[in-house]
């Protein structure tokens, strides 16, 4: 039973027979791979931008008043914060799509056609 607020919306391209079939081994494995890949990508992206933020802060502290080094550190910090915002926005977008349409993108599911 789907508890999504928009559960009454039906995709006309997928008929009842296709939607009720269970996945076979290959489709389940491929779906698990892509779902895990998406989760790992979000995690690694967040860690990468967090460490760039720390590196930018370290460069800013050790700039010693040199304008060029301060500017480079500022740019690194700005780009790191922008990257974290992009990663979080993508995660929120995926969560909203999953909630509105009652699908699970992070646990990717490929229906069995045959």
Any idea where the domains of the chain sit in the sequence?
A: 44-108
Q: Which residue has the higher pLDDT, 5 or 14?
A: 5
For position 17, what pLDDT does the model report? 44
Question: How far is CA 45 from each of CA 41, 64, 98, rounded to the nearest angstrom?
Answer: 6, 30, 21
Residue 39's pLDDT band, with cuts at 50, 70 and 90, is confident
Q: What is the mean pLDDT of residues 40-64?
A: 91
Buried-state track 49-79, b at ≥16 Cβ within 10 A, e below 16: beebbeebeebbeebeeeeeeeeebeebbee
Q: Is the pTM of this model over 0.85?
A: no
Q: Which of 4-18, 48-62, 65-79 has the lowest mean pLDDT?
A: 4-18
Q: Which residue has the higher pLDDT, 81 or 39?
A: 81
For residue 99, pLDDT over 80 is answered with yes
């Amino acid at each position: 039973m789907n508890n999504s607020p928009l559960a009454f919306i039906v995709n006309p391209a997928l008929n009842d027979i296709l939607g009720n079939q269970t996945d076979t081994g290959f489709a389940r494995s491929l779906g698990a791979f892509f779902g895990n890949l998406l989760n790992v990508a979000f995690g690694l992206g967040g860690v990468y931008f967090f460490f760039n933020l720390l590196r930018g802060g370290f460069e800013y502290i050790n700039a010693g008043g040199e304008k060029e080094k301060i500017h480079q550190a500022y740019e690194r910090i700005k780009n790191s914060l922008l990257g974290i915002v992009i990663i979080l926005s993508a995660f929120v977008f995926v969560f909203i799509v999953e909630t509105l349409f009652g699908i699970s993108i992070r646990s990717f599911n490929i229906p069995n056609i045959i």
